[in-house]
Each structure stands twice: as C-alpha cells, then as structure tokens.
Amino acid sequence: MALKEKTVPIVHLIYRKGDLIMKEGDYGISIYKITKGRVRVFNEQGKTEVPIATLGPGEIFGEMVFLNKATETRSASVRALEDVELEVWHPARLTKEYEAMTPIMRYITNQTLNRLVRMNRMYAQLLKKKEESGYDTAGSMGLARRQYYRKTVNLACTYRPSHAPDKVKLQGRLTDISVGGAALDVSTRNTNNIRHNPGDTFNVVTELPSGRSLHLSGKVCSVNRNKAPGRLLIGLQFFDLDGETRKALGFFMMA
C-alpha cells in the first residue's frame, strides 16, 4: 500500500519589535504570512537601510526565492516594526499549486517578479546616491540630520496632533521634504493652544504637484524662528510611512 503523502505543517512564530526576521543575502526557503503586527522590508546600501515596503496582517514576504528559482539568496531584509506573529510556510505546501499553473501563467508571473526585483534595486540605488550626510538648516538648534536628499518645495498642508480628532485642522506649508522628514512652516498662532515641542507628533496631509495626496506622520525634532515675523519652522522626522507613500515620495524626489 502506498504511503499517504504528508502535508508539511504550518509553523507559527512570534518576533518582538526591532527583531530582524530575514537578512538580505542569507539562504532561505520559507514563506511568511503576517497574522499580527507590521514589518519593514528594506535593502542595505552600505550602512544605510533603504525602505522598500511596510507590510501588515494578511500580507506575505519571502516568496521571491520560491517564485524566482534562479535566485538562491534573500533579496531584501525584513525587520519587525512592532511585535508580530507569523505563519511560516514550507515551499512544499505550494509546489503542486504552482506547477499546476499553465506555462504561460508561470512565465507571466516570473517576468513580473523579475521586473519588481529590478525596480526595487534601482529605487534603493537612486536613494542611496541622493543621500546627504550632516544636513542642517540655520538656527540655534537646526533641523535634525536627515538620511536622504532634501528637495525645496512650497506645498500647502493641513496638520493636527496625532491624538487629536480628525476635525482639528491647522494650516501650514512644507518648505522642503525628503523620504525621511520635512520642514513645516507654521504661524505662531498655531502654538497658542497646541504644543509644538520636540517629541510631539503630528499627522500631515498634503498634495504633490502630480495630484497625489500624501498622509504623513511626523515627530517634531526641532523648532526655530523663521525669517518672517510670526512664523515658526518645525523640523519633522517621518515615521510609520507605508510602502506606497515612501515610493511616491522617492519618485517625487527623483523628478
């Protein structure tokens, strides 16, 4: 009697905030599905971590080694942004379904995957080239050092404290921006009833010249008097940006 084929079990793992789950360049075959928490996918360019995407519950990573069998090592690193729970699948669970695809569908899948890998590498390399170290603006405190090249802009925006309800809308203007942060020009009247101190966090909504709306979360890292009377220049450091927002900012910086 033929032995009944065994199904490879699904393994459940827990990682804590900050843990490195997957390392670029390592060998590995497992595919991960996020059931709780968020992770960041990034490439390493020297000592710089270049973000590619932020993934959350229901999304998967580690699939490229399985789909692109010519690639033997991991093409990106993954780190837990918060405590995460994962399902870990062995490729043997998916091989039959993958091989059941028609040749043309497998070809299209692999071509799309290869194009995505090339785009991610090109994106990381371009951001690396535009990185500037030690960037500061005038003022007693100066804006915080930024990881990426900054672009001068003049973008109207609304913003509110992260803990405030949506109906709270303060007016401001972004005067420069990068993938890592921005300079926010505001009226001193905005500070009468709402704190604008280092460490405070704000949600910012603005629109790029292309018409793309951006929803940004930033922490105040500096507050300086602007040249114009009654104005303040707020240095913001972005956090918790999703992958699509990062890519939209990255492409805007390259334009």
pLDDT tens, 152-188? 899 999 999 999 988 899 999 999 998 888 999 999 9
Question: CA 172 to CA 175: how far, in whole Å?
Answer: 10
**Which part of the chain has CATH 2.40.10.220?**
151-254
Query: How would residue 224 be classed by pLDDT, with cut points 50, 70 and 90?
Result: confident
Lowest mean pLDDT segment, chosen from 92-106, 129-143, 185-199, 209-223: 129-143
Question: CA 233 to CA 235: how far, in whole Å?
Answer: 7
Domain 151-254 has CATH 2.40.10.220: yes
| Residues sharing a CB contact under 8 Å with residue 66, sequence separation 6 or more, in sequence order | 29, 31, 91, 94, 98
pLDDT tens, 16-52? 999 999 998 888 778 899 999 999 988 877 667 777 7
Main-chain phi, psi angles of 128, to 5 degrees: -60, -40
**pLDDT given for residue 194 in this prediction:** 93
**pLDDT given for residue 73 in this prediction:** 77
**Which part of the chain has CATH 2.60.120.10?**
11-129
Q: What mean pLDDT do residues 119-126 have?
A: 65
- What fold, for 11-129? Jelly Rolls (2.60.120)
**pLDDT given for residue 138 in this prediction:** 34
Q: Please answer whether residues 64 and 37 qualify as being in contact, where contact means their C-beta atoms are separated by less than 8 angstroms.
A: no
**pLDDT given for residue 129 in this prediction:** 61
Report the percent of the chain where pLDDT is more than 70: 78
Question: CA 92 to CA 132: how far, in whole Å?
Answer: 45
pLDDT at 229 over 90: no
Q: What mean pLDDT do residues 86-101 have?
A: 78
Q: What order of strands is seen across the sheet that includes strand 11-15?
A: 11-15, 84-89, 31-36, 60-61
Q: What mean pLDDT do residues 143-147 have?
A: 37
Residue with more model confidence, 196 or 69: 196
Lowest mean pLDDT segment, chosen from 25-39, 62-76, 114-128, 231-245: 114-128
**Across the chain, what does the average pLDDT equal?**
80
**pLDDT given for residue 252 in this prediction:** 82
Query: How would residue 247 be classed by pLDDT, with cut points 50, 70 and 90?
Result: confident
**pLDDT given for residue 143 in this prediction:** 34
pLDDT at 135 over 60: no
Report the percent of the chain where pLDDT is more than 90: 33
Residue with more model confidence, 119 or 200: 200
